[in-house]
Every structure is written in structure tokens, then in C-alpha cells.
Amino acid sequence: MDKKEILLQTALKLFVSQGFNDTPTSKIAKEAGIATGTLFYFFSTKDELIVALYLRIKGMAAEHINAALAEVKSTREMIKTYYEESLKWALRNPDEFLFLAQFSNSPYLKKIGNNEISAQIAPVLQIFRSAIEEKQIIDIDVNLLYTLISNQVFGVNQYLLSNTVTKKVQYNIIEDTFNMFWKMIVR
């Protein structure tokens, strides 16, 4: 693993366990076994490091979800796949998911340009638009639909992480909660 990768992995671990404010760059460098100057070689500020880590993790999650979506044809199945794969990715990557949640509820979100955020959520918004055009779901603002599904994914993931259940029970919970979401938005 190269130094930049070690820094990113160490920063992820510390940001999740201690928060952004309580994690100085000196601690990240020390835990990574790298000089502070080397950290600043890769990232000129802590803010830049946090944003870079966010974009990297968001990209990894999107890559996973988009690969699963490529196999699906119907709009309902696309929404279901997005929901299920978001949760599966979150369960396999708990630190990354917790980092994304922390980032999304922090002032750092404002450091991401509107164009970047729009590009990240555009595929999901398009799925919702298609479902509305096909009259499969209610005609409501797609940004609101995105907020609803995102918050449901977050909530269900939190529930699954705080309760020890088998994989089969996890799958059933994911299935049941998607069905509840679908009933909420279906025409």
C-alpha cells in the first residue's frame, strides 16, 4: 500500500471513531507512520483530505451500485436494486458508510460543488423520473424521493448495525423495508 492510501485508510478510521474536529492531521500522520509534511504533500489542508476521502468513498459506493443496476431492466427493479445494493454496500463497508453519514451532516458538504452533487445523484433521479413517466410511482419531486430513499437506507442500516441478526434476517428486513418504501411511493 502506498503512503497516500495509508493516509486515507488511517484518516477514515480516525474520522469515524473521533469525528472530524477531534482528529488533527498530526494524529493522522502519526497513526499512519508518516511524517506530517508527507500528509501535506498529498493534501494541503485537513479539509482537502476530508473532501478527497468523501469523493473517493462516494465513487466506490456508486461503482458498486451502478454495476448491479446494469443488470436490471424494469424501473421498479432498478429502484429496488438501488435500495438493496446501497444497504449491502453499507453493511460490507460500515466505516465508509459512517464516514459518508458524518460528512453529509457536516459543514464539509458545502465544500462539494453543486455540480458534483448533481452528478452523484443524477442516475437515481433519472430512475425516479422514469418511474413517474411510466406512472409506476406518484408524481412528486424526484429530489424528495431521493431524500426519502437515502434516509430510509441510513435508518435501516443503523438498525441492522445495532442488532445482531443473521444474514437471512438482514435480507428479510431489507426486503420488507423496501416493500414499505415502495408502498409509500406507488400510484
Single pTM value for the model: 0.86
Q: Please give the pLDDT value at position 109.
A: 80
pLDDT tens for the chain, residues 1 to 187: 798 999 999 999 999 999 999 999 999 999 999 998 988 999 999 999 999 999 999 989 988 998 998 888 898 999 999 999 999 999 999 999 999 989 888 888 888 876 777 777 888 899 999 999 999 999 999 999 999 999 999 999 999 989 998 999 999 999 999 999 999 999 7
**Three-state SS letters, 132-155:** HHCCCECCCCHHHHHHHHHHHHHH
Q: Please give the pLDDT value at position 169.
A: 95
Q: Looking at this protein, which amino acid is placed at residue 11?
A: A
Q: Please give the pLDDT value at position 181.
A: 95
Q: Which residues touch 112 (CB under 8 Å, ≥6 apart)?
A: 51, 54, 55
Q: Please give the pLDDT value at position 107.
A: 86
Q: Please give the pLDDT value at position 93.
A: 94
Domains and CATH numbers, the chain: 1-44 (1.10.10.60), 54-185 (1.10.357.10)
Instruction: Quickly count helices (H) and strands (E) in the chain.
Output: 9, 0
